[in-house]
Structure 1
Amino acid sequence: MSQHSDKPGGSVDPRELDVFELTRSGRRAAGCVRVSQLPRMLNEVPGEAPDRDAAFSWQIEGSTQPELQEDGSEAAQPYLRLAVHGAAWLECQRCLAPYEETFDIDATYRLVLTEEEAQEFPLDDDEFDVIVGSRQFDLVDLIEEELLLSLPLVPKHEACPQVHESLVSGVGGSAADGDDAVDGEDEYGEAGSESGKPNPFAALEAMKRGAGGNKDGGKKH
């Protein structure tokens, strides 16, 4: 894993980054991190993935912005911008096969010194997140956190190459279980739902039809 800074002859250790110096000087830095360095992210990668150790490139930029203080004056406050780009293999929840998910993260953070300061910021500000900075900041941990937050709610292919057998036959059953049905109808003669399940009102409709056919009390003609 290599990292470099735009400062002549400079380099950064992403696990012990002085973010306050970086923001004060307006420096930039870049590097890459592999999935094997991100244990929580690695847990999301299926064992049969073609590449379980993909690389993500990252870039950071420090800056300061003037903010109004309680006494009415303005003071420069530290901000950090992080960009992460790459792809990792996840398990499709539709066909259960590995697929490659692309990640493009661009996040801005307002740095503070303590957790107490962070809690004082309003929660409805979606322009940036507030994080506690330090002079030995673990940027790799922040990168992993952002990747985990960017995971899709339901990982899946846009179009699955094949359907998993459990989705065809049903868990614990087989496709032959429905051979008695004709043209998508259930045992009551009612069409099933779009998902292939029997119509839950079929039994009630059958009872109504049965009751309607006996209105004459069963008399013979």
Structure 2
Amino acid sequence: MTQNLGKPAGLADPHDLDLFEFARSGRQAAGVVRVSQLPRMLNEVPAEAPDRDTAFTWQAEGATQPELQDDGTEGPQPYLRLAIHGAAWLECQRCLTPYKQAFNVDATYRIVNTEAEAEEFPLDEDEVDVIVGSTQFDLVDLIEEELLLSLPLVPKHDVCPEVHESLVSGVAGAEGEGDEAAEDEAEEGGEPDRPNPFAALEALKGGLKKDGPDGKKH
């Protein structure tokens, strides 16, 4: 299957998808979405990144499986599986330089009709999330939300190329003391106490996970 950016063959517009029909017919689709198409994700990419407009590939598959309904009969329950792979540049919080972060998402969603149904779904279900479906579902918005939820709490290199000067002591006392203090602090990973810059992001991610803009429950 050959796809264009975000508009794969057989899927006219991933921003306007009949999610119920997609699941009922067991359809599959795949495509590519760039960071420039995801404004909230783009905000996470530092201005000095080598490439601010990296690409993510995605694959979506609809399905149904028989489940017991409220009226006691068995009926088809729609599901969506979504996989996202790619990388984006983030700012390392140790050395304050850009680094490339890989993203690999593989999520399964139980599609329900209303927010009330979503609220009734058990919160301790680990393998399946819940989303409120529609006949005009924005799949790209769901992709962006999953990427935001996958952001590391503290973005950082596995091994920093260097320690930023603001994170080490640069004030020299007696000859050589400044360099020794800087080396000791760098080795120990010492940083001055300061507010966690990701506290607000963590709260935002928690809010998205609880009740995202597309009605998805985590």
Output the TM-score relative to the length of structure 1.
0.75
Partner of residue 47, structure 2: 47
* Percentage identity across paired residues of the two chains: 71
* Structure 1 residues not aligned, in runs of 5+: 186-193, 198-221
Matches within 5 A, 1:82-97: 82-97=82-97
Query: How far 1:177 moved relative to its partner?
Result: 4.8
2-structure distance, mates of 1:154, 1:80: 30
Partner residue in 2 for 1:190: none
1:65-84 superposed matches below 5 A = 65-84=65-84
Partner of 2:171: 175
**Match of residue 209 from structure 2:** none
Give 2:102's aligned residue.
102
| Partner AA of 1:37 in structure 2 | Q
- Tell me the secondary structure at the aligned position of residue 21 of structure 1: helix
* Aligned partners of 2:94 and 2:156 also within 8 Å: yes
Q: Please report how far the alpha carbon of residue 126 of structure 1 lies from its aligned counterpart in structure 2 after TM superposition.
A: 1.1
Report the equivalent of 2:25: 25
Q: Distance in 2 between matches of 1:178 and 1:81?
A: 63
What secondary structure is seen at the aligned counterpart in 2 of 1:136? coil
Distance 1:179 1:113 in 2: 72
Displacement of 1:120: 0.9
Residue 70 (structure 1) shift: 3.7
Query: Deviation per CA, 1:172-217, whole angstroms, max 9, x where unpaired?
Result: xx231586969x89xxxxxxxx6679xxxxxxxxxxxxxxxxxxxx
Q: Cα–Cα, structure 1 residues 196 and 71, in superposed 2: closer, same or farther, change >3 Å?
A: closer
Partners of 1:148 and 1:178 in 2: CA distance:
48
Structure 1 residue 68: deviation in Å? 1.9
Report how far residue 167 of structure 1 moved.
Answer: 1.4
CA distance in structure 1 between the aligned counterparts of 2:45 and 2:33, rounded to whole angstroms:
15
1:57 aligns with 2:57: yes
CA distance in 2, matches of 1:20, 1:105: 22
Distance across 2 between alignment mates of 1:137 and 1:18: 6
Residues 136-155 of structure 1, C-alpha deviation per residue, up to 9 Å, x if partnerless? 10011100100000000110
Aligned partners of 2:6 and 2:14 also within 8 Å: no
User: Deviation digits for residues 27-69 of structure 1, max 9, x if unmatched?
Assistant: 1001111111111111100000000011111110000011123
Are 1:126 and 2:132 matched, yes or no? no
Alignment of 1:186-201 (within 5 A): none
Q: Residue 121 of structure 1 aligns to which amino acid in structure 2?
A: F
Number of residue-to-residue matches in the alignment: 180
Change (3 A) 1:123 1:36: same
Give 2:115's aligned residue: 115
TM-score normalised by length of structure 2: 0.76
* 8 Å CA contact retained: 1:168, 1:175: no
Asked if the contact 1:12–1:29 (Cα under 8 Å) also holds between the matched residues in 2, the reply is no
Residues in 1 aligned to 2:53 and 2:157: alpha-carbon distance in whole angstroms: 20
1:3 aligns with 2:7: yes
Alpha-carbon distance in 2 for matches of 1:195, 1:77: 51
